[in-house]
Amino acid sequence: MTFTLPTDIHARPVAVLGAGTLGRRIALMFAARGGQVRVYDPSAEAGKQACGYVEEHGAEVASRVGGGTPGSVVATTDLAEALAGAWLVVEAVPERLELKKQVFADLDRLADADAILASNSSSYPAGQFIDHVTRPERVVNMHFYMPPAQAAIDLMSSGHTDRAVLDLLLEVLPRYGVFPFEAHRESTGFIFNRIWAAIKREALAVVADGVSTPEDVDRMWMINTGLKGGPFRMMDQVGLDVVLDIENHYAAENPSLPTGPRELLQRYVDAGHLGVKNGRGFYDYGTRD
């Protein structure tokens, strides 16, 4: 089936589902050119924090992207309110397949008929969670990393996505300071994350095997690559619970993967050490509100 593309997109809001680490960063980018962004989260406090994050960084990112005034961001705990009139909906909920299936069934039912439904999933192809979607031609993987610093995006068809949806996003997204790259066939981990997964897993294995420490691995990485951070700092930024969800998904798809990396992550998560978002992961960042 073909899909009727949304019109007047610059006058319509973007809806972001999930006010976590990536959700608020996605909202920041779409607010950078003066548009309206609605952030949905069942936690009012999480929504409030997301709006605060966008307000804190909005002017800086707006000057970098378009040189104009940043747009508005509002948070709501009402999904229908968040979706009303939106031309684009970006799902950024936890990496749990059954949750994503339910979310996309709700989006298909509640979003405007011409709204593009995008998943920020870091590991699941969209084709795995559109069982209850009546118009799969408007569903697409649109995976962000950590904007604004890491501004590349993976775009990938669900297997049913209308070609015009991909072409529109390839054209429009750079206006918001993010840069899309299309995966031309289904790929778990898409493009960059597929490469990053191998690096991340081996770094975890080196520590799980008692060969080295997170600090030393990161320090060697920084010396040899010239980068400002290493794999363990990067995992702390993403959130160790999110990293563990992703690793569990890879392991379900490939049971031969070593268990040590996941066991190491599980110990940190069980201890409540989730990374930057709550003040302690592989590193101690101090108390977070």
Contact 92, 17 (CB under 8 A): yes
How confident is the model at residue 123, as a pLDDT? 77
Q: pTM here? A: 0.81
Residue 173 Cα distances to 65, 152, 169, 176, 218, angstroms:
11, 10, 6, 6, 32
Residue linked to tokens 């019109």: 7
Q: Which of 183, 211, 228 is the last residue of a domain?
A: 183
How confident is the model at residue 262, as a pLDDT? 98
Lookup: tokens for 246: 């992703």
Beta carbons within 8 Å of 32's beta carbon, 6+ residues apart: 58, 61, 62, 64, 65, 66, 70, 71, 176, 177
Write the pLDDT tens digit of every residue in 107-122. Answer: 999 999 999 999 999 8
How confident is the model at residue 288, as a pLDDT? 55
Q: Establish if 168 belongs to a structural domain.
A: yes
Tell me: do 203 and 266 sit in the same domain: yes
Write the pLDDT tens digit of every residue in 172-215. Answer: 999 999 999 999 999 988 999 889 999 999 999 999 999 999 99
Write the pLDDT tens digit of every residue in 257-287. Answer: 999 999 999 999 999 999 999 999 999 998 6
Write the pLDDT tens digit of every residue in 17-37. Answer: 999 999 999 999 999 888 899
Tell me: do 59 and 14 sit in the same domain: yes
Q: Which helix (H) or strand (E) holds 110?
A: helix 97-110
Q: What is the CATH number of the domain that holds 74?
A: 3.40.50.720
How confident is the model at residue 249, as a pLDDT? 85
Q: Which helix (H) or strand (E) holds 116?
A: strand 116-119
The tally of domains found in the chain comes to 2
What residues does 90 pair with on adjacent strands?
A: 16, 118
Q: Which of 163, 183, 203 is the last residue of a domain?
A: 183
Tell me: do 73 and 215 sit in the same domain: no
**Which domain covers residue 232, as residue numbers?**
192-278
What residues does 139 pair with on adjacent strands?
A: 117
How confident is the model at residue 66, as a pLDDT? 72
In whole angstroms, what is the distance from residue 124 CA to residue 94 CA? 11
How confident is the model at residue 35, as a pLDDT? 84
